[in-house]
Amino acid sequence: MPARFAAPDTAALPLHLIESDGLDPWLADQPAPVAAWAKASGFTGALGTALMIPGPEGAPVAALAGYGTAAQRARHRFPLAGAVPSLAPGVYRIASGLPEGGAMTESLGWLLTGYQFTRYRAGSDVTRALVAPEGVDAGRVETLAAAEWLTRDLVNTPASDMGPDALEAAARALAADHGASIEVITGDDLLARNFPMIHAVGRASAQAPRLIDLRWGASGPLLTLVGKGVCFDTGGLNLKPGASMGLMKKDMGGAANTLGLAQAIMTLGLKLRLRLLIPAVENSVAGNSFRPGDILTSRKGLTVEINNTDAEGRLVLADALSYGDDEAPDLMISMATLTGAARVAVGPDLAPFYADDEALAAALAQAGGQLADPVWRMPFHTPYEAMIEPGIADLDNAPSGGFAGSITAALFLRRFTAQAKRYAHFDIYAWQPSAAPGRPKGGLGQGGRAILGALPEVLDL
């Protein structure tokens, strides 16, 4: 169950956030036993530490969370979340020390400390609940947490239970929850309806390739999200080595992020029309696999020389993007675990994105900063277009040389987005490699909150 805030009238322990140099002044105002207890416990206000304050009967009457220094907090996405596991189970309200402007992200971070992936193993039932701080829109923060929950659960679920069938089922469940309509084009119907590259990439899999097409909302600007749903990426005939294949259940991380974002948009009832396109496939090896050297003709008509079957994401996305592009959406956004090069460039913390529209790029960067979802703009560097033009076809899916791998992948996608009024592409990692406060190792939402926060300005909502 996604985390929720405790009801405002719940009996809650006061929690004081104490900076390192704020401890002595704070203790000076406390009864002598409290100061003695804090000193004897070695509590210094260090970031990520906590101390329960007992009353005369021994039961806690308050708690302290170390809040370090501003410089230390700047190293963390959710500074307070690091202290939460050290608090006794119970319900808390923040009584002092929360910096202005930090309430939203710190309370989101708190809710996210409750995330556990419990599909295959029971989790802990210990809870540390928070009463939403004053001024925080509790429902909105809970919606952000629920979106992150959904994204993480989808990414964490291995391909044995999250193949194209299950990804479709997840999209259908989301549609049913929110009264959205959904159409799914599957298997040979993809050929009949002209999605040749989705079919080519996914046809070797035991579960048929498909294109999921969800629509919600009756009026307002049209937002089209396109998420890479490669449920497992073996690399195809250009098989990945074991170490690179190990994590490839997360290759539907783009789809998972767009599903989480779609859930948030629908829950919040944004005044827009939403379309979500997910090409859901498994990049598998079989006698009917597509091959290196094959030339595919895309939905748009552009021919693509396959120079590496492991560069499959851009192929399935290209057909989905051209389909979405046909109705000239006001904003189209693709999210995909598209290249290893993106991870090399910016690491697992930042979500790199591409956008030609300056206002869109600025709004994404600003919203990402406000919503604890850091993003980083990358260049759609047009002079590199030549790198994706091989000679005997219009496009090359895997330019040799490997220069600027994330940029050339983004340029490839941009070729399929001529009608959309604005377009952004996120080349995300969707995975937290080692635990950090509010972010256990495993699936991770990236870019969704930045997009959500940017929508009002970009779409004039």
Q: How far, in whole angstroms, is CA 80 from its chain's centroid? A: 21
Count of other CB atoms within 10 angstroms of residue 457: 15
Task: Find the helix or strand (DSSP H, E) in which 22 lies.
Answer: none
Closest CA to 286 of 203, 163, 195: 203
Q: Which residues pair with 54 in a beta bridge?
A: 60
Site map for Zn ion, 207-236, x if CB under 5 A? Answer: -----------------------x--x---
Q: How far, in whole angstroms, is CA 177 from its chain's centroid? A: 20
411 binds ligand BES (CB under 6 A): no
* Of the residues 19, 153, 251, 396, which one makes contact with Zn ion according to CB under 5 A: 251
Residue with smaller CB distance to Zn ion, 250 or 422: 250
427 binds Zn ion (CB under 5 A): no
* Local structure of residue 437 (DSSP, 8 states): T
249 catalytic? Reply is no
Residue with smaller CB distance to Zn ion, 312 or 427: 312
Which of the following is catalytic: 73, 275, 314, 343? 314
Pairwise CA distance, residues 299 & 238, whole Å? 24
With H, G, I as helix, E, B as strand and everything else as coil, classify residue 270: coil
* Cβ at position 233, least distance to Zn ion in Å: 4
* Of the residues 310, 373, 396, 427, which one makes contact with Zn ion according to CB under 5 A: 310
Which of the following is catalytic: 240, 271, 377, 421? 240
233 binds ligand BES (CB under 6 A): yes
The interface partner of residue 234, options being ligand BES, Zn ion, none and the CB cut-off 5 to 8 Å by kind, is: none
* Cβ at position 107, least distance to Zn ion in Å: 35
Strands (E), 181-294: 181-186, 210-216, 222-227, 229-233, 273-283
Residue with smaller CB distance to Zn ion, 51 or 230: 230
The interface partner of residue 308, options being Zn ion, ligand BES, none and the CB cut-off 5 to 8 Å by kind, is: ligand BES
228 catalytic? Reply is no
* Cβ at position 310, least distance to Zn ion in Å: 4
Strands 210-216 and 90-96, sheet pairing: unpaired
The interface partner of residue 76, options being ligand BES, Zn ion, none and the CB cut-off 5 to 8 Å by kind, is: none
CB contact at 8 A, 328 and 223? no
Query: Distance from first CA to last CA of the chain, Å, rounded?
Result: 30
Chain residues in the site for ligand BES (CB under 6 A):
233, 251, 308, 310-313, 337-341, 343, 398, 405, 429
Residues carrying an active site annotation: 240, 314
